[in-house]
Amino acid sequence: MIKGAIFDVDGTLLDSMEIWENAGARYLRSIGKVPEENLSEILYPMTMAEGAAYVKERYCLTVPLDVIIQGVLDAVRDFYFYEARLKTGVKEFLAVMRERGILMAAATASSREHVEAAFRRLGIDGYFGRIFTCAEVGAGKRYPLIYERAAGYLGAKPGEILVFEDVLYAVETAKGAGFHTVGVYDRFSAGETDKIKSLADVYAREFTKELAEHLCGR
């Protein structure tokens, strides 16, 4: 019997993965620069400091690296505070889960400040008893610690908890730790769709009331 649910945030509850693709471009536009079309591909493998150094040299910026880094971080923050949208059907889905007595927590690699602001603005903050972040638990989602901490809060065993994730490695981690997994479609991880479908216990193209009713009956 399902007693609890743990939801990833970016790409699962929020249609927010785009900010990690274009934060650098947003920063450049904010200071009047035109970013190159493939900037996200160039910056993707770099650390924040390496990316700032590249942007400084490529676009002939005179400000210090820490100012560039802060500018990018501000672009990310503004996105969560003012722009990030819910995935289709999320609010109605969460309402059904709560009506069925399912306790819920969020587990995210994003910052607490950003997620809490987005949840408040979008009206879903009241559905989650707690938000767990990778930074606060001390491990990313290639390790099961964040799910285990959330399970402890929910007061249920992994086999009594649903974990909703949109990327393959997180589904692999949760399933390997004994949780029931729900793979959620996101356009930014579409290349992993077939693998996620084959691994997850349930796969969802979108959130619906019917899906919530089905999962609550597991």
Per residue in 157-178, pLDDT tens?
Answer: 999 999 999 999 999 999 999 9
CA dist 121 and 163 (Å) reads 24
Q: Is the pLDDT of residue 51 over 80?
A: yes
Q: If you ran DSSP here, which 8-state letter would residue 41 be given?
A: H
Q: Is the pLDDT of residue 196 over 90?
A: yes
Confidence band of 44 (pLDDT split at 50, 70, 90): confident
Q: Is the pLDDT of residue 1 over 90?
A: no
CA dist 64 and 190 (Å) reads 37
Confidence band of 218 (pLDDT split at 50, 70, 90): low
Q: Is the pLDDT of residue 98 over 90?
A: yes
Mean pLDDT in residue range 37-48: 85
Mean pLDDT in residue range 84-107: 96
Mean pLDDT in residue range 117-123: 97
Provide the whole-model pTM. 0.92
Average pLDDT value over all residues in the chain? 94
Mean pLDDT in residue range 76-93: 96
Residues 46/143, Cβ–Cβ less than 8 Å: no
Q: Is the pLDDT of residue 12 over 70?
A: yes
CA dist 147 and 134 (Å) reads 10
Q: Is the pLDDT of residue 137 over 70?
A: yes
Give the pLDDT score at 171.
Answer: 97
Give the pLDDT score at 191.
Answer: 93
**31-38 contacts at long range (C-beta below 8 A, 24 or more positions apart):** 31/61, 31/71, 33/59
Mean pLDDT in residue range 102-114: 95
Which of 131, 120, 132, 129 has the alpha carbon at shortest distance from 101?
A: 129
Q: Is the pLDDT of residue 9 over 90?
A: yes
